[in-house]
Structure 1
Amino acid sequence: MTTMTNEPPVLLVAGHWLGAWAWDEVVEHLGAAGRRTLPMTLPGLDAADPERASKTLDDQVAAIEAAMEQAAGPQGETVVLVAHSGANGPVTRVLDRHPEKVRRVVWVDSGPVGPGSVFAPDLPDSVVELPLPPFEALGQFASLEGLSGEVLDRFRARAVPEPGPVVRQAVELTDEARQQVPTTLVCCSMRGAQVMELAAAGHPMFAEVAKLEHVDVVDLPTGHWPMWSRPADLARVLLDCLGTEQG
């Protein structure tokens, strides 16, 4: 299908341990609908990079900024950022630095983080990287619903350990204009109504959600990795989000 040039480019950023490959099925559906997509592998998550374990949150932010410039092209188009799970750290920082360059941010079973947030604040400096935990342990913190044994095997085989500097670095934020960027929350392992209730109640995990000025909530019931458990449905949700950004 011919790509529609009047629609914003879409940057897809997966969470911890994942690269651009995690979006393959979703990209296929979006491409069939004519959408311009750019799935990303953040610095530190390229298994072929011999220096990947030394990458920082700053490196990941810089990579997203470079990808935005590439996607924006000579006309300086604004982009749609789609962030899954642990991509919320670098993507929140990008929103803070460049709110005017983002047409919409779509959080996939994720959401913005607050200033000073650190993913693993107690991780000793001696720990070089954080590997994918055993699924028994991971499932206690993130739902594996909808993932077949084949998918889990692929996840294990392709997962790349998260660099220690990334998970120890605090998220620095300075510009509240990030809260004005139109936002969609795609809620998978927790229903949207519950997320908004917790945000309204001041739960620290959802404190930034309560500050958003333009937020839409979409339920996509499944586990924490909907790009694998419900890829066609996730693509359809994204297309619905992107439909509001035409013109």
Structure 2
Amino acid sequence: MAEFVMAAGTWLGAWAWDEVVPELRAAGHGTHPLTLSGLADKQGVPAGQRTHVQDIVGEIERLDLRDVVLVGHSYAGIPVGQAAERIGDRLTRVVFVDSNVPADGESFVSAWPDGRAMVEGSIAEHNGFWAPLAAPDFAGQGLTDAQITRIVTGSTPHPGATLTEPAVLSRPLGELPATYVKCLLDGPEPNADVVELLKSEHWRLVEMHTGHWPMFSEPRELARILLGAAVEG
């Protein structure tokens, strides 16, 4: 059986996976949703991007997990991608859920040529944190009003340093066994860097007809995809 280690994107904590976890456990797998430092129940913990990478690696090593399926949603794809190469043969597969992917020497905001100023401006205005989105920002993402309320009320400011520090990779990301989940309501095509990675024989693309937060909008379908990735290895 696989051990799923899951990290959600900006502003979210382990709670974001609450509706996905039961489906994975019912299939007999281990589940380890993480709250990254500085977020949710770990607010107040200083965090840069390397902290988030170590959050993931440290949990895997602490629990001595094997057959790990690492899951990163949105921003969390950046620390998850770095953690994946650091855990060696403990890794079965990485699943990037509509996520950013790390590039050596590049940060989260590096991939935002049009939005970088917006993100950095928010960080400057909010004492080093990126302020969470408001309810209207979730329109058109396949979410119910109740789901949007749940995300908005559960979100916490995101540590800015994790978004501006560069990633560190020791080998090409395309060498890792990976599944990329593209959520089509958030755009019909993956970003250009992901398109390049998908040319690798080790990567595959799966599409979901929902928005950027599938753990809320389509948790059972997302769980089905994750279970398929575990079998694929």
TM-score (norm 2): 0.84
Which residue of 152, 161, 171 maps to 2:167? 171
Query: Per-residue CA shift, 1:13-51, capped at 9, x if unaligned?
Result: 1111111100000001111111111000001113453x2
Which residue of 94, 99, 121 maps to 2:83? 94
Aligned counterparts, 1:206-245, within 5 A: 206=194, 209-210=197-198, 212-245=200-233
Residue 113 of structure 2: aligned partner: none
Which residue of 118, 139, 143 maps to 2:107? 118
Residue 54 of structure 2 aligns with an amino acid whose one-letter code is A
User: Aligned pair 1:185/2:180, yes or no?
Assistant: yes
Change (3 A) 1:144 1:209: farther
Shift of 1:97: 3.0
SS in 2 for 1:86: helix
Deviates further, 98-107 or 161-170? 98-107
Change (3 A) 1:191 1:57: closer
Residue 67 of structure 1: aligned partner: 59
Q: Mind listing any 5+ residue stretches in structure 2 that lack a counterpart?
A: 110-115
Shift of 1:227: 0.7
Q: Mind listing any 5+ residue stretches in structure 1 that lack a counterpart?
A: 1-6
Residue 4 of structure 1: aligned partner: none
Change (3 A) 1:241 1:210: closer
Residue 142 of structure 2: aligned partner: 146
* RMSD of aligned residue pairs (Cα, Å): 2.5
Change (3 A) 1:169 1:43: same
User: Aligned pair 1:107/2:99, yes or no?
Assistant: no
Residue 23 of structure 1: aligned partner: 17
Shift of 1:172: 1.9
Distance 1:31 1:235 in 2: 10
Residue 8 of structure 2: aligned partner: 14
SS in 1 for 2:169: coil
Change (3 A) 1:34 1:40: same
Distance 2:141 2:185 in 1: 12
Distance 2:18 2:38 in 1: 20
Residue 112 of structure 2: aligned partner: none
SS in 2 for 1:147: coil
Does the 8 Å contact 2:75/2:99 carry over to 1?
A: yes
TM-score (norm 1): 0.80
Query: Per-residue CA shift, 1:197-247, capped at 9, x if unaligned?
Result: x6xxxx3x43652464411221211000111111111111111221223xx
User: Aligned pair 1:83/2:77, yes or no?
Assistant: no
Residue 132 of structure 1: aligned partner: 132
Distance 2:188 2:63 in 1: 34
Distance 1:144 1:69 in 2: 39
Larger radius of gyration: 1
Does the 8 Å contact 1:113/1:208 carry over to 2?
A: no
Q: How many percent of aligned residue pairs carry the same amino acid?
A: 33
Residue 164 of structure 2 aligns with an amino acid whose one-letter code is R
SS in 2 for 1:72: coil
